[in-house]
Amino acid sequence: MHLLPADTRSLDASEAAVDLGQAPGAIVFASLTDSDLALAAASGLDDLRLAPLQKLRHPMSTDLYIDQTARHARAIVVRLLGGLDYWRYGAEELAATARTHGIALALIPGDARPDGRLSQLSTVPQEALDKLSLYWREGGPRNARASLLYAARLGGLDLGEPEEPVAVPKYGMFAPHPPLEGEGRTVGPGWGGGSTCKDDISPPHPEASPRPSPSRGGYGRAVIVFYRSILLSADTAPIEALARALGAEGLAVSAFYVGSLKDGETAEWVRRQLEALKPAVILNATAFSALDDDGASPLDVAGCPVLQVITCSSAEEAWEASTRGLSASDLAMHVALPELDGRLSAGVISFKAEREEGAFTRLAHAPHDGRIAAVAAKAAAWAKLAAKARAERRLGLILSNYPGAEGRLAHAVGLDAPASAVAILEQLRDEGYAVGDQPKSGADLLELLDQSSSLHQEMERNRHDAGEDIDSYPPHREEGKELSLPLSAYSSWLDTLPAALRDRLAVQWGDPSADPLCNDGAFHFAGHVCGNVAVAVQPDRGSALDRKGDHHSPDLPPRHAYLAFYLWLRQVFGIDAMIHLGTHGTLEWLPGKAAALSAQCFPELAAGAVPVLYPFIVNNPGEAAQAKRRLGAVTIGHLTPPLREAGLSGAAIEVERLIDEYASADGLDQRRMAYLRREIIERAMVSGLTAECGIAPGLDEDETLARLDAFLCDVKELQIRDGLHVFGRRPEESAHLLDVLAASCGEEERPVLASRLDSCGDSEMASLLAGLDGRFVRPGPAGAPTRGRADVLPTGRNLTTLDPRAVPTRAAYAIGSRAADAVIQRYLQDHGDYPKNIVLDLWGSATMRTGGDDLAQALALLGVRPVWDNGSNRVSGFEILPQARLDRPRVDVTLRISGLFRDVFAQQITLFDEAVRAVAALNESAEWNPLAAAAKASGERPLRIFGAAPSAYGAGITDRIARGAWDVRADLGRDYLAASSHAYGAGIEGDAVPAIFAERVASADAHVHGQDHREIDILDDVTFAAHQGGFAAALEALGAKAALYHADLSDPDKPRLRSLGEEVGRLVHGRAASRRWIDGMMVHGYAGAAEMANAMDCLFAFSATAGIVTNAAFDRMHEAYVEDEEVAAFLASANPAAGRAIRARLAEAIRRGLWQPRRNSASRLLDETGRAA
């Protein structure tokens, strides 16, 4: 057997090559951490060279350093935090050099776990490795110096007698205190106590008890947890500054140092201390996750919120300039992985800055006073919330106004938000909160909210039309129920903002008094006060007349009324906590950094330090992460709506009956079979079924029947939502989901799964109450239950995602490879040839949910496979599969990434970009490698990753569709091209390259969008039409054509490819126009009617952008919502605005020529909507 080797590449090669420029020295010490390097520098050895491994990630950097410096050394010590896989190339090259030149090489792990691979590469005995490792595990300047003297001995040098390793406690109490002039750092068993020493740090006994903080307040105690290495390297300035800031907020403060929270002895000590201290809040400055085998962290025992504070590894200037906020490594270590423990993102407290220490310039943590003050304020807010009695707490219960379309007030994905709000109010009353008079039902609440909201829209519309008639509309008031903020109070607050922010608001929105919601000298807001709970509608971020496009604009600051609303909540009503109900609002999408926000970021400016509880649908980890990372929110996962099979309705039932009859008659009566065949095809054509199946006139009759049968089976088996979920309520119907879970997990698990499903409602409400009590909310994974994700049950936990460094996972690559095969097979079936160029959508939330199925699919199409570290399963590089193993041509893949993917998955962008450049450089024929052929022809770097501009989100066309501000489809296509033409890759951060992106679109053979679960579909959110349909509109603008495919990956083992038209057709039949689905929604009144209007909007958007909606599909929607008297009466009663919106969309479809109605009655819509306008 002949083995075909793959060409393997490391991600380290994507780092910039640097020259450290060090002269040779007798001893070389290398480490990934600045604290290790600082300790080594403090040894005072003259012939020592220090190598920061972060700067030697590129192979060329390593080769240069070895040649210039390392090969001349007598002894080399390398401490590898994370093990061999973090610097494999360098370790292997150093090992070869050491053996060639007779150098004593010691490669030691960065923790207490032995690593046999490092031992094998080293050239010194295992006994020596163990001793060197012990020196560095114990830490401190004395041990660091002794270790280097010992290493010199191993290399044949005598620079002095090395001491034996000195034991230093692995954990202990730390007392922040500024050192006196001329003294070393002070540590000890209390504030201001302990010992001082210029030459060493002698930590106190681990069990030392802290004295109280100088600034003891009535809100309880804050505990800071940080790394022992920070203490031993005398780098505690940020910790000390944080302790002072917490004291200034009225908190007593204790601080622990730990080597690792995962060390068993340390974890047990931490638990004992927390049980004794009973803190109100913990601020954790250690990185990564600390979960043990039982899924618990030692910090959990306190039962209080754990705020994750970030000691940033980059310079402050880099953070200021970054739209992401953090590097990929910092995001993983300080944000994504701590989220697995249920920690809340509180922000950054320090940045790396150079500090001169003798002849050595070290990087140390420089505290940032402004960010530390913000973190301390958040910690104090949680502590104050816990300290206040329930009857005294004041809460804001905020309902979304997204997407802002008519009849969609309080919209939330998969959630009956009005009914959920009432359920929460009832529970709060029962738990001792002062709720006062409250609405009895969701309908009652909506009547209150809709009155005020409608008035505000009327105010805005009239001011827009008539100018500055400020006093035309009196404020909406009830005695004691007013939601208003004096203009003078807002102006005073505005004056405290930095001038740049004030100027930005003024340029966009003018004077605050000109805001349409500012009337009679005050801002007025839509809402209702129930005792100590203000139930309010989130104001429009921008103009109510241009809502949809404003919601995700990167440059649009929130209007004055929006900021005034949150100021009213915080400073006038005085809320102690905020509940943002349902997926999703606009607060977390305001302009600013993606993580580690600054004072200039609008989410923080609006929300301040207020604790945020955010009920969020459990299957949307990406947008939940946005709320967690930009608001510090506790995202409480709620269950998805119940599901059922769609079945058939209308003409489809009769056609299916005839097909069954035809199958039964097979071979018995040829004349009858011929009659049935003609009858089936005729009825299918009249009803529009053939068009929705993509059956062209003249197709062979047998093939026509086969396609019809397959389509009807597909529709029957479609899983549709049977209503909406109500937060905190047990699911009334969960049999279908239980069947799906049991099929995945095994029938023997059915009783356990049933119990977990049944407990979801109670768990959701219990977690919300725990958060409002200022207590810890246990974490739990986000994911789609219908994909067999039983681990997301019960819901009610603080949603978590995954380690971004592990994307794509091994399982995702297996699924993505199957999906790639399905794409190629479908294209071959449709076109008789292999696709050469494909554009593929890549979304952040789906990537978090699946571990990277879509990215894996793109890599598989390219003929590339990820390489994973053996120990950590993190992606470290890729291998290019040889043609003989691939057995098909490579596909030139272009990614259109979402804004969320851009913000979270920087390493994956680099991975794909490196893979593209590597494949483009292969010496393969154009027939087998179209990417290499294109790169050779252009002579330029191949750019294959595009998306919105930095900080921008969306595809740029939803606003036009919502307002009807377009004439021809190409108008929408040009907007899609403009919004999507920003390139990303290694060293490229959103460069505008419209011509290159247009060329990628025009040359595409196919566009692919994947859908990984059944709980939503593409008629649920207009975003799908913006991306999938937007691409189709762009093709029209460019005069090009391509296949449009929808990849159904809801069953990971059986991916299915449908054309976009087929997918829309089956959803209209099975859901949007299905009486089964409509009946389920009618149970929910206003909210259910809003879902119906939303489906109509989405269908219209696909017709506007892609032109793939048939006349029959519009006919079915008209029959379902207008001609069905019961449904029409329901809409008129439950949500008249939604009914009007549906009829208006149908009329617009007629006016634009998108629909030629079968019945004359539909044409009356034009007259009706014209009169209404």
User: Can you tell me which residue has the tokens 């910790």?
Assistant: 239
User: Can you tell me which residue has the tokens 């070290």?
Assistant: 362
CA distance 615 to 448: 22
CA distance 638 to 766: 12
Residue 215 pLDDT:
40
Mean pLDDT score of the chain, rounded to an integer? 88
Domain stops at, among 128, 154, 180? 154
**How many C-beta atoms surround the C-beta of residue 303 within 10 A?**
16
- DSSP state string for 736-748: HHHHHHHHHH-GG
Residue 416 pLDDT:
95
CA distance 745 to 275: 38
Minimum mean pLDDT range among 180-194, 472-486, 537-551, 673-687? 180-194
CA distance 835 to 56: 40
Average pLDDT over residues 103-125: 91
Q: Are residues 372 and 409 in the same domain?
A: no
pLDDT in tens, 216-269: 457 899 999 999 989 988 899 999 999 999 999 999 999 999 999 999 999 999
Q: Are residues 202 and 349 in the same domain?
A: yes
Strand partners, 398: 536, 580
Given pLDDT bands bounded at 50, 70 and 90, which one contains residue 470? very low
Structure tokens at 568: 């009213």
Q: Is 533 helix (H, G, I), strand (E, B) or coil?
A: strand
Q: Is residue 684 pLDDT above 90, yes or no? A: no
Q: In percent, how much of the chain has pLDDT > 90? A: 70
Q: Are residues 43 and 148 in the same domain?
A: yes
User: Can you tell me which residue has the tokens 């310039």?
Assistant: 361
Residue 739 pLDDT:
87
CA distance 854 to 864: 14
Average pLDDT over residues 619-629: 94
582 domain-assigned: yes
Residue 201 pLDDT:
36
Average pLDDT over residues 164-168: 92
User: Can you tell me which residue has the tokens 């009973």?
Assistant: 278
Q: Are residues 1104 and 1030 in the same domain?
A: no
1078 domain-assigned: yes
pLDDT in tens, 1045-1062: 999 999 999 999 999 999
639 domain-assigned: no
pLDDT in tens, 988-1011: 999 999 999 999 999 999 999 999
Residues in Cβ contact with 752 at an 8 Å cutoff, skipping those fewer than 6 apart: none
Q: Is residue 463 pLDDT above 70, yes or no? A: no
pLDDT in tens, 1099-1120: 999 999 999 999 999 999 999 9
440, burial (CB in 10 Å: exposed 0-12, middle 13-18, buried 19+): exposed
Average pLDDT over residues 100-109: 96
CA distance 805 to 415: 32
User: Can you tell me which residue has the tokens 């449709």?
Assistant: 830
CA distance 1137 to 451: 13
Are the beta carbons of 207 and 268 closer than 8 angstroms?
no
Q: Give backbone dihedrals phi and psi of 395, rounded to 5 degrees, phi first.
A: -125, 150
Q: Are residues 123 and 231 in the same domain?
A: no
Given pLDDT bands bounded at 50, 70 and 90, which one contains residue 387? very high
Residue 627 pLDDT:
96
Minimum mean pLDDT range among 30-44, 223-237, 623-637, 964-978? 30-44
105 domain-assigned: yes
User: Can you tell me which residue has the tokens 């002794």?
Assistant: 146
CA distance 538 to 283: 30
CA distance 87 to 1031: 41
Given pLDDT bands bounded at 50, 70 and 90, which one contains residue 182? very low
pLDDT in tens, 877-909: 999 999 989 989 999 999 999 999 999 999 999
Residue 942 amino acid letter: P
Q: Is residue 444 pLDDT above 70, yes or no? A: yes
CA distance 132 to 109: 10
Average pLDDT over residues 587-614: 96
Q: Are residues 139 and 196 in the same domain?
A: no
Average pLDDT over residues 470-474: 32
Indicate which CATH number applies to the domain containing 280.
3.40.50
Residue 924 pLDDT:
96
Average pLDDT over residues 496-502: 93
User: Can you tell me which residue has the tokens 């600082």?
Assistant: 38
416 domain-assigned: yes
Given pLDDT bands bounded at 50, 70 and 90, which one contains residue 681? confident
Q: Give backbone dihedrals phi and psi of 1029, rounded to 5 degrees, phi first.
A: -70, -35
Q: Are residues 1033 and 1016 in the same domain?
A: yes
794 domain-assigned: no
User: Can you tell me which residue has the tokens 């010490």?
Assistant: 29
Q: Is residue 635 pLDDT above 60, yes or no? A: yes
CA distance 113 to 119: 12
Are the beta carbons of 1047 and 1055 closer than 8 angstroms?
yes
**How many C-beta atoms surround the C-beta of residue 685 within 10 A?**
15
SS3 content of the chain, % helix, strand, coil (to 5): 50, 15, 35
CA distance 1036 to 1044: 13
Q: Is residue 180 pLDDT above 50, yes or no? A: no
As for how many domains the chain has, the answer is 6
- DSSP state string for 1022-1074: HHHIIIIIHHHHHHHHHT---EEEEEE-SSTTS-EEEEHHHHHHHHIIIIIT-
623 domain-assigned: no
Q: Are residues 816 and 917 in the same domain?
A: yes
- Our CA angle for 911, 914, 918, nearest 5°, is 135
Q: 126-138 and 141-154 helices cross at what angle (nearest 10)?
A: 160
Q: Which domain holds residue 33?
A: 7-154
**How many C-beta atoms surround the C-beta of residue 911 within 10 A?**
26
Residue 554 pLDDT:
58
Q: Are residues 547 and 413 in the same domain?
A: yes
Q: What ranges in 1068-1135 are assigned the alpha helix state H? A: 1075-1082, 1085-1106, 1111-1118, 1125-1134
Domain stops at, among 1024, 1059, 1094? 1059
pLDDT in tens, 21-72: 899 999 999 998 888 888 898 888 989 999 999 889 889 999 999 999 999 9
560 domain-assigned: yes
CA distance 967 to 975: 13
Given pLDDT bands bounded at 50, 70 and 90, which one contains residue 637? very high
Residues in Cβ contact with 571 at an 8 Å cutoff, skipping those fewer than 6 apart: 489, 493
Residue 679 pLDDT:
86
Q: Are residues 47 and 134 in the same domain?
A: yes
Minimum mean pLDDT range among 80-84, 188-192, 624-628? 188-192
Q: Is 195 helix (H, G, I), strand (E, B) or coil?
A: strand
Q: Are residues 131 and 257 in the same domain?
A: no
Domain stops at, among 658, 684, 712? 712
**How many C-beta atoms surround the C-beta of residue 265 within 10 A?**
11
Q: Are residues 365 and 416 in the same domain?
A: no
Are the beta carbons of 592 and 601 closer than 8 angstroms?
yes
CA distance 688 to 977: 33
Pairing mode of beta strands 945-947, 892-897: parallel
Residue 9 pLDDT:
64
Given pLDDT bands bounded at 50, 70 and 90, which one contains residue 360? low
Residue 655 pLDDT:
86
Residue 405 pLDDT:
78
Residue 93 amino acid letter: E
pLDDT in tens, 533-580: 999 999 998 875 454 444 455 578 999 999 999 999 999 999 999 999
